[in-house]
């Protein structure tokens, strides 16, 4: 009996479904409603496809309706493309007789690829409209896209049809050498602020050359892309102070995904790799974000890499990963990295002054500062850590211990922290007898340390590390290590505050 009932039920359902296929619709009366009146597609680069944006269309009536036509106002010439509930229509531009059931909705997915000469010159805007129906029942949804003109740099095709690659040890990666005499772009080793640059693959600086970034230049990296500074070559990042929050004079390295949803997503591109043997590297007023490793500094050529007034945020592994390098840093801010904001490994020589190393990564395995004198492996090899000095710095974050000192006895391990605020909780007295962490009694390595006091940053979740006069870092610096201007170019008072920022009242 149950089996017969199931057969009867199946028959009823089949009968219902077959009847539903020939339902009648009424013509649209122009009473559609939309999830948005205007769809703003975020900034795109000329000739590159945007992300996909969604528009929802509602039929609130009790009738199944037929929309005679859905199309772009510019028709087949539109630079936009759309799909409607998965259907592509005529070239993704026009759709005929679209059915929308009573009390139902449909999705329209929109994207665009625009050339700069299709835009309004004054604002670089490309606009169009999606039109629903026609005549008296016409309804419209506006489309607006900001288009940024850009220089595209990418691996070229070889004569045999393969894509250009770069040798990295025994491996090859998708990449190319920047050409100072490129027939299309001119000097690719000189990045100006006239247009944005978008890089696909790894762009490498040829041996003996210098890549220069002018103040205000913008470089956007695609996935699995980055910059390699080769042996005996150099990088000069020449940003300057900006007058507004737009960082108009800052040099910015970021992902080519410009939508707000991607603003804080780590690992969208590779790294800036200063290879072993690169020389005379100078970085000033740089903002770098959303990489895998921000700056990978691999060895040195007997010269010091200078890093000043630089911000590095949202990196999957490290903000700065140095391997037996020589670095002098001033007014550096790093936050939100999966392993360490600053990693000085395999020995080297380092000096950081008035810098803020924070790490608000959500997992407990991270740290703000990691220092070692060896290279991890099956048989670790050591190198002398001749100096690791931190003056007037803040080392803080969301984890209990934000400083890790990892020493092998085979080589030198020289470190010193002067007038620094450190977060280091000696939970269960685990480090009470550890000679590396004697903050109160070891004057050779620690002087005037503020331990586990909240610096009261304005908002570390959005990478704002300003402090005010209620901070534990306020006026706790040593004037002997003074850098006269902070990261924003504001004059420091005496005694100076710790970290990269001169204190000021928070905005209300």
pLDDT in tens, 158-189: 877 788 999 888 889 999 999 999 998 999 99
Ranking 135-144, 198-207, 403-412, 463-472 by mean pLDDT, the lowest is: 135-144
Evaluate whether 258 touches 278 at the Cβ level (below 8 Å). Answer: no
Read off φ and ψ for residue 69, nearest 5 degrees: -155, 140
Domain span at 113 = 26-148
Domain boundary among 107, 127, 148: 148
What pLDDT, on a 0 to 100 scale, did the predictor assign at position 45? 81
User: What number is the average pLDDT over the span 395-421?
Assistant: 96
What pLDDT, on a 0 to 100 scale, did the predictor assign at position 91? 93
- Is 194 in the same domain as 54? no
User: What number is the average pLDDT over the span 235-261?
Assistant: 92
H/E run at residue 16: helix 2-20
Q: How many domains does the chain have?
A: 2
Is 18 a member of any domain?
no
Listed residue (176, 202, 361) closest to 271, CA to CA: 202
Q: Which of 138-147, 299-308, 331-340 has the highest mean pLDDT?
A: 331-340
What pLDDT, on a 0 to 100 scale, did the predictor assign at position 19? 38
Residue 119 pLDDT class (50, 70, 90 cuts): low
What pLDDT, on a 0 to 100 scale, did the predictor assign at position 508? 75
Q: Does 4 score more than 80 pLDDT?
A: no
- Is 52 in the same domain as 169? no
- Is 369 in the same domain as 250? yes
- Is 372 in the same domain as 462? yes
- Is 119 in the same domain as 248? no
- Is 322 in the same domain as 434? yes
Domain boundary among 122, 148, 174: 148
What pLDDT, on a 0 to 100 scale, did the predictor assign at position 294? 98
What pLDDT, on a 0 to 100 scale, did the predictor assign at position 10? 47
Cα–Cα distance, 178 to 185 (Å, whole number) = 10
Dmax (CA) for the chain in angstroms is: 95
Residue 44 pLDDT class (50, 70, 90 cuts): confident
Is 353 a member of any domain?
yes
Q: Does 14 score more than 50 pLDDT?
A: no
- Is 207 in the same domain as 71? no
Query: How many other β-carbons are positioned within 10 Å of the β-carbon of residue 386?
Result: 15
- Is 52 in the same domain as 164? no
For 258, 327, 339, the CA distances from 281, given in Å and listed in that order, are: 28, 10, 25
- Is 323 in the same domain as 458? yes
- Is 178 in the same domain as 88? no
Is 184 a member of any domain?
yes
Is 197 a member of any domain?
yes
Is 131 a member of any domain?
yes
- Is 215 in the same domain as 80? no
Ranking 2-16, 323-337, 443-457 by mean pLDDT, the lowest is: 2-16
């Amino acid at each position: 009996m149950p089996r017969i009932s199931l057969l009867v039920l199946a028959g009823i359902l089949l009968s219902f479904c077959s009847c539903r296929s020939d339902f009648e619709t009424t013509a649209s009366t122009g009473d559609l409603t939309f999830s948005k009146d205007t769809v703003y597609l975020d900034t795109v680069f000329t000739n590159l496809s945007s992300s996909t944006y969604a528009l929802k269309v509602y039929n609130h009536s009790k009738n199944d309706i037929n929309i005679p036509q859905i199309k772009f106002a510019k028709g087949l010439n539109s630079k936009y493309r759309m799909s409607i509930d998965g259907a592509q229509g005529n070239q993704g531009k026009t759709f005929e007789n679209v059915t929308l059931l009573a009390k139902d909705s449909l999705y329209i997915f929109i994207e665009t690829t625009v050339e700069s000469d299709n835009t309004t010159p004054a604002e670089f805007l490309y606009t169009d409209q999606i039109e629903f129906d026609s005549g008296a029942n016409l309804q419209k949804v506006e489309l607006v896209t900001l288009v940024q003109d850009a220089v595209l740099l990418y691996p070229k095709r070889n004569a045999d049809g393969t894509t250009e690659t770069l040798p990295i040890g025994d491996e090859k990666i998708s990449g190319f050498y920047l050409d100072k005499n490129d027939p299309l772009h001119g000097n690719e080793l000189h990045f100006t602020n006239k247009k944005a640059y978008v890089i696909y693959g790894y762009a490498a600086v040829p041996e003996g050359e210098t890549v220069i970034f002018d103040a205000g230049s913008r470089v956007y990296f695609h996935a699995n892309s980055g910059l390699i500074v080769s042996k005996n070559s150099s990088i000069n990042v020449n940003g300057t102070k900006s007058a507004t929050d737009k960082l108009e004079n800052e040099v910015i390295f970021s992902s080519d995904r410009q939508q707000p949803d991607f603003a804080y997503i780590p690992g969208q591109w590779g790294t800036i790799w200063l290879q072993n043997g690169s020389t005379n590297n100078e970085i000033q007023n740089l903002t770098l974000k959303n990489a895998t490793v921000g700056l990978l500094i691999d060895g040195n050529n007997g010269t010091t890499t200078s890093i000043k007034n630089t911000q590095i945020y949202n990196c999957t592994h490290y903000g700065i990963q140095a391997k037996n390098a020589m670095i002098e840093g001033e007014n550096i801010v790093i936050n939100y990295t999966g392993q360490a904001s600053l990693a000085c490994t395999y020995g080297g020589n380092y000096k950081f002054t008035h810098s803020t190393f924070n790490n608000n990564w959500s997992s407990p395995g991270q740290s703000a500062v990691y220092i070692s004198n060896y290279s991890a492996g099956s048989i670790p090899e050591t190198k002398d850590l001749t100096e690791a000095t931190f003056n007037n710095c803040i080392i803080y974050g969301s984890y209990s211990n934000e400083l890790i000192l990892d020493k092998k006895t085979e080589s030198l391990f020289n470190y010193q922290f002067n007038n620094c605020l450190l977060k280091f909780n000696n939970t269960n007295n685990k480090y009470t007898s550890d000679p590396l962490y004697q903050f109160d009694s070891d004057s050779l390595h620690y002087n005037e340390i503020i331990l586990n006091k909240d610096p009261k940053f304005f908002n570390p979740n959005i990478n704002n590390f300003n402090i005010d006069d209620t901070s534990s870092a306020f006026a706790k610096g040593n004037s002997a290590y003074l850098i006269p201007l902070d990261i924003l170019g504001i004059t420091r008072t005496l005694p100076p505050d710790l970290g990269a920022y001169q204190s000021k009242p928070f905005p209300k």
